[in-house]
């Protein structure tokens, strides 16, 4: 008989999250792990699935991909973890394609199939309704649930004295922002970095830029409270693009243009501003999950003649089992204070938490799914 769990289900495009009782598969495949979820961050990618900006998704489904929890059971082939281990969940990857073997699992050739199509690597889903209707998963994780089943590659084991309520967002938003700096752009000490959008990804990039030794860290947004937060955690300059010309101000601050730029908004004019703010030889990384267009209309005049680069960086090009522990060490040293950006919500407040994230009211909402958990 299947185990019954509680999960936040999306029934249809633009629907609200509904807490439902679901069946969880009773048996594990050899490579699978059963997780008791303690908490999960809410990411804009979850909202992008809900509203369609993230592309087609096979509803009904359980999203959530910034989960943290405790291992309950492991499959017979699992060697990387054991029951009782405390873990942070991240994306899945196959581990055997050429990119995985070259140390770039975020560029896994099967990444989309494993994370975005609503089924696991075996083509199934661990969730079903009480009448047997399949319910699709997400990131092979589906952390908006009291329990879930993942692949052992989804898991990073952490010390059990770390508060699991805080660290789930290290598995997506913060590792994406920081990894884009550390692994994608790789800014030189003393270089300038401008970040458009000061949500979790943007502020993760800001903290990483500070660690990397950038001398001019510039944040652009339209929400004054977020710009103030950016100042508090390391921005040298902030620009409210509702009140002034962001590109002109960036050129003034940097003496001609920024060496590196990141866009986290996914808004076409803002992505263009990020590109236009670059100096000759500069690099920009557009990161948002969006269907909005970014065009380079005159490649020679706008791109080649100035030796600018536009680079794609997925999940910060991070190896989760390496990057997440590194971020925890930076956090312990006071260099990556991501928890200052979090606000906790109860599981049944998920729709309010998601709305607060989408509106910009809260930078990183975190659902406390197990309210009995203590460190």
- Residue by residue, pLDDT tens for the chain (375 residues) are 358 999 999 999 999 999 999 999 999 999 999 999 999 999 999 999 999 998 899 999 999 999 999 999 999 999 999 999 999 999 999 999 999 999 999 999 999 999 999 999 999 999 999 999 999 999 999 999 999 999 999 999 999 999 999 999 999 999 999 999 999 999 999 999 999 999 999 999 999 999 999 999 999 999 999 999 999 999 999 999 999 999 999 999 999 999 999 999 999 999 999 999 999 999 999 999 999 999 998 999 889 999 999 999 999 999 999 999 999 999 999 999 999 999 999 999 999 999 999 998 999 999 999 999 999
Question: Both 231 and 136 in a single domain?
Answer: no
Question: Both 95 and 190 in a single domain?
Answer: no
Please report whether residue 52 resides in a domain.
Answer: yes
User: How would you class 192 by CB atoms within 10 Å of its CB: exposed for 0-12, middle for 13-18, buried for 19 or more?
Assistant: buried
> Contact 42/27 with Cβ under 8 angstroms?
no
Sequential DSSP letters for 48-78: HHHHSTT----SSB-----EEEEEEEE-TT-
The span from the CA of 4 to the CA of 126, in Å, is 11
Question: Both 77 and 158 in a single domain?
Answer: yes
Question: Both 209 and 103 in a single domain?
Answer: no
Please report whether residue 324 resides in a domain.
Answer: no
Please report whether residue 164 resides in a domain.
Answer: yes
Please report whether residue 375 resides in a domain.
Answer: no
Which secondary structure element, helix H or strand E, spans residue 346, and what is its range? strand 342-346
Please report whether residue 331 resides in a domain.
Answer: no
If one counts every other C-beta atom within 10 angstroms of the C-beta of residue 6, the result is 17
SS3 3: strand
> Contact 66/274 with Cβ under 8 angstroms?
no
Domain enclosing residue 343, as ranges? 3-171+337-368
Question: Both 163 and 54 in a single domain?
Answer: yes
Question: Both 130 and 31 in a single domain?
Answer: yes
Report CA-CA distances (Å) from 193 to 175, 184, 240, 344.
Answer: 17, 13, 16, 30
Question: Both 165 and 179 in a single domain?
Answer: no
Please report whether residue 328 resides in a domain.
Answer: no
Instruction: State whether the Cα torsion 151-156-160-164 is positive or negative.
Output: negative
User: How would you class 267 by CB atoms within 10 Å of its CB: exposed for 0-12, middle for 13-18, buried for 19 or more?
Assistant: middle
CATH of the domain at 185: 3.40.50.720
The span from the CA of 20 to the CA of 303, in Å, is 51
Please report whether residue 99 resides in a domain.
Answer: yes
Single pTM value for the model: 0.95
Please report whether residue 321 resides in a domain.
Answer: no
Question: Both 240 and 98 in a single domain?
Answer: no
Question: Both 117 and 229 in a single domain?
Answer: no
Q: What is the pLDDT of residue 1?
A: 39
Q: Which of 277, 288, 212 is nearest to 245 (CA)?
A: 277
Question: Both 14 and 119 in a single domain?
Answer: yes
The span from the CA of 30 to the CA of 47, in Å, is 32
Question: Both 265 and 196 in a single domain?
Answer: yes
CATH of the domain at 29: 3.90.180.10
| Contacts with 238 (C-beta within 8 Å, 6 or more apart), sequence order | 218, 219, 220, 221, 227, 228, 230, 231
| Contacts with 340 (C-beta within 8 Å, 6 or more apart), sequence order | 229, 232, 233
| Contacts with 292 (C-beta within 8 Å, 6 or more apart), sequence order | 266, 267, 268, 271
- Total of domains in the chain: 2
Question: Both 188 and 271 in a single domain?
Answer: yes
């Amino acid at each position: 008989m299947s185990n019954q769990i509680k999960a936040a289900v999306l029934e249809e495009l633009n629907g609200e999250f509904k807490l439902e009782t679901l069946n969880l598969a009773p048996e594990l495949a050899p490579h699978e792990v059963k997780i008791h979820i303690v908490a999960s961050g809410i990411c804009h990618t979850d909202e992008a699935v809900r509203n369609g900006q993230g592309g087609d998704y096979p509803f009904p489904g359980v999203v959530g991909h910034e989960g943290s929890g405790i291992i309950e059971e492991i499959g017979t082939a699992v060697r990387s973890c054991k029951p009782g281990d405390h873990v942070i969940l991240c994306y899945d990857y196959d581990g055997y394609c050429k990119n995985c073997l070259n140390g770039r699992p975020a560029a896994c050739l099967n990444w989309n199939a494993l994370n975005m199509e609503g089924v696991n690597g075996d083509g199934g889903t661990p969730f079903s309704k009480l009448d047997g209707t399949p319910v699709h998963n997400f990131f092979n994780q589906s952390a908006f649930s009291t329990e879930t089943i993942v692949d052992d590659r989804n898991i990073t084991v952490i010390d059990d004295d770390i508060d699991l309520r805080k660290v789930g967002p290290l598995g997506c938003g913060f590792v994406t922002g920081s990894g884009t700096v550390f692994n994608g752009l790789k800014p030189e000490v003393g270089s300038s970095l401008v970040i458009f959008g000061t949500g979790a990804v943007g502020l993760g990039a800001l903290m990483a830029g500070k660690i990397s030794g950038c001398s001019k860290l510039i944040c652009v947004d339209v929400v004054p409270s977020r710009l103030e937060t950016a100042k508090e955690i390391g921005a040298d300059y902030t620009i409210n693009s509702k009140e002034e010309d962001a590109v002109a101000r960036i050129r003034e601050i940097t003496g001609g243009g920024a060496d590196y730029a990141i866009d986290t908004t996914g808004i076409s004019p803002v992505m263009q501003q990020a590109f236009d703010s670059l100096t000759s030889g500069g690099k920009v990384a557009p990161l948002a999950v969006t269907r909005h267009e970014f065009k380079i209309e005159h490649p020679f005049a706008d791109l080649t003649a100035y030796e600018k680069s536009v680079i794609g960086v997925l999940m910060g090009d991070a190896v989760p089992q390496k990057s997440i522990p590194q971020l925890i060490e930076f956090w312990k040293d006071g260099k990556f204070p991501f928890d200052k950006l979090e606000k906790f919500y109860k599981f049944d407040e998920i729709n309010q938490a998601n709305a607060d994230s989408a509106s910009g009211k809260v930078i990183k909402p975190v659902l406390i799914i197990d309210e009995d958990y203590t460190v």
